Amino acid sequence: MTDPAAVDPVTLEVVRNALAQLAEEAGAALRRTAYSPNIKERMDCSTAVFDAAGQLVAQAEHIPVHLGSMPLSVAAARERFPELGPGDQVLVSDAYAGGTHLPDWTLVAPVHDADGHLLGFVANRAHHSDVGGATPGSMPTGRVDVVAEGIRIPPVRLHVAGAEQDDLVRLLLTNTRTPTERLGDLRAQVGANHLAARRLRDLAGQQGRAELAAAMAATLDHAERRVVAALRQLPEGSVTAEDLLDDDGAGTEDIAIRATVTLRDGHVTCDLTGSDLQVAGNVNAPVAVTLSAAVYALRAVAAPDLPANDGLRRALTLETTPGTIVDARPPAAVAAGNVETSQRIVDVLLAAFAVLAEGRVGAASQGTMNNTLFGGSDPRTGLAFTYYETLAGGTGAGPWGPGADGTHSHMTNTRNTPVEAFELAYPLRVVEYRLREGSGGAGASRGGEGLRRVIEVVTDDATASVVTERRRHAPPGAAGGGPGAVGRNLVVRADGTEEPLAPKATVRLARGDRLVVETPGGGGYGTA
């Protein structure tokens, strides 16, 4: 391989941007060809490119919790199948093999040139709105284990030499409530990898195989140099921070996440070994999720304009204790660890960074993804339906100004489901969708406002679940600013009776019943 140090700056920029654009184009293809509104409309998917050693070299600007953990899924695929050939694609969805939670299906494909030389890997991850399990949407609440959350997929070859493995596909589709939608989304992932692989081969043809490999190595080195330089501009030291999860949905409240962030000579250590033990509910986070949160926090504070790749990870050491809320072990349930605990890990890490990097970190954002799920039978078709969405809220204010209203923040980067697409796809009706005025924290700069979304059931029998946080512990303000308002969940029955819901709950609904989700506001910054 050509020496990475010999790659000139122009070539480095050309290849770096070409790899990033390759990932973006694959993501666009995945969204366009997917069946489910969750992927097509909400863009709950991510794409990335890896070198021949499985190192992340480029990613689309998609979902941080997907992308920061995807290298571990690629590693799991390579470990299980060290000799992947042209046309092979490996499917994996195992929270304990580099995954996040079971609905996130990751597809990994090797890329070879015409002579059979391995150029690298392309991969994508998409959230499938139902993968079986105890409740529609595959995020059951209460005292559960990972088995109750749906089908757990170890690394398996979905395609062998370009041929889809029919027996495996039939097994997967038998274990979901919405098989047609799942097949459409899965084949969209396959097609996205085909496109990404073709573009990577084209790039190798333009640059030369050895030159491309050198440029990939150079972009990793470049990212490392940039982040180390940025960290060296910050004061050295150690800061400890702590925050709480509301509950696990199974009787345990006030679950502590503790982190000590240490900056030394351009390197950061995130030590979360003092966090609470894993719990009976579904808020346990696999270590891949915790790594994603740490990578995100580092990038956000040190070099937000830096392309995220594994060069950045060289400046980070993550320390956890196995069997804790941030490094769960089987058979712990993990569905909310990916979507809720990841947000709290970021809150804790940013609180520590705020002391070390004064002026770079604002108040806390809403700190939850407000997961909302429905399932049941669609009277228009007689078929099962499953709906999944994360709802936006307020972002934290900072020295730069007020927080944003109704925005996804930190570990999620999805859109909302447009009302027109929502009502076309599901036997549900959006009755109300607006900002929660006054929910942002007070301060010299005010926190962003949360949302209020009211959904009415127009089928005779449905199941709804909410998996949410910041219903008891408000997003804190900073520098004297006030906290954002906590969120709220409730059911309004067809007769007008109101039933408050816990932060994590599952409930049966009938025609005319309404689910109300009010999301938290962001914290304020500075004394009002």
**Tell me: the pLDDT tens digits for 359-408?**
899 999 999 999 999 999 999 999 999 999 999 999 999 999 999 999 99
Token pair of 489, please? 């969940």
Tokens of 426: 């599901």
Contact 92, 99 (CB under 8 A): yes
Judge whether residue 102 has pLDDT over 60.
yes
Contacts of residue 341, defined as CB under 8 A and 6 or more positions apart, other chains included, come to: 245, 257, 283, 284, 285, 289, 325, 326
Over range 47-73, report the average pLDDT: 89
- And the tokens for 177? 């409530």
Token code pair at residue 299: 């990038």
pLDDT of residue 62: 76
How far is Cα 82 from Cα 78, in angstroms, rounded to an integer? 5
Containing 97, the helix (H) or strand (E) segment is none
pLDDT digits (tens, 9 = 90+) for 160-202: 999 999 999 999 999 999 999 999 999 999 999 999 999 999 9
How many other CB atoms are there within 10 angstroms of residue 8's CB atom? 10
* pLDDT above 90 (res 277): yes
Distance CA 506, CA 515 (A): 11
d(CA 95, CA 338): 9
pLDDT tens profile 505-519: 999 999 999 999 999
The per-residue pLDDT for 5 is 77
**Using 50, 70 and 90 to split pLDDT, how confident is the model at 96?**
very high
pLDDT of residue 65 exceeding 80 = no
In this predicted structure, the answer to whether residue 474 has a pLDDT above a threshold of 90 is: yes
Decide if 111 contacts 216 (C-beta within 8 A): no
Instruction: Kindly report the average pLDDT of the chain as a whole number.
Output: 95
Q: How far apart are CA 246 and CA 256, in angstroms?
A: 9
Q: How many CA atoms lie within 13 A of 524 on its CB side?
A: 18
Stretch 426-441: mean pLDDT: 98
- Of the candidates 471, 389, 485, 493, the one whose C-alpha atom is nearest the C-alpha of residue 437 is 485
Q: Return d(Cα 243, Cα 249) in angstroms, integer.
A: 18
Q: How are beta strands 504-509 and 428-435 bridged, if at all?
A: unpaired
Residues 58, 48: Cα–Cα separation, whole Å: 6
Please, what sign has the CA dihedral across residues 156, 162, 166, 170? Answer: positive
Per cent of the chain over pLDDT 90 is 93
Mean pLDDT of 418-436: 96
pLDDT tens, position by position, 239-270: 999 999 999 999 999 999 999 999 999 999 99
pLDDT at 2: 67
pLDDT above 60 (res 221): yes
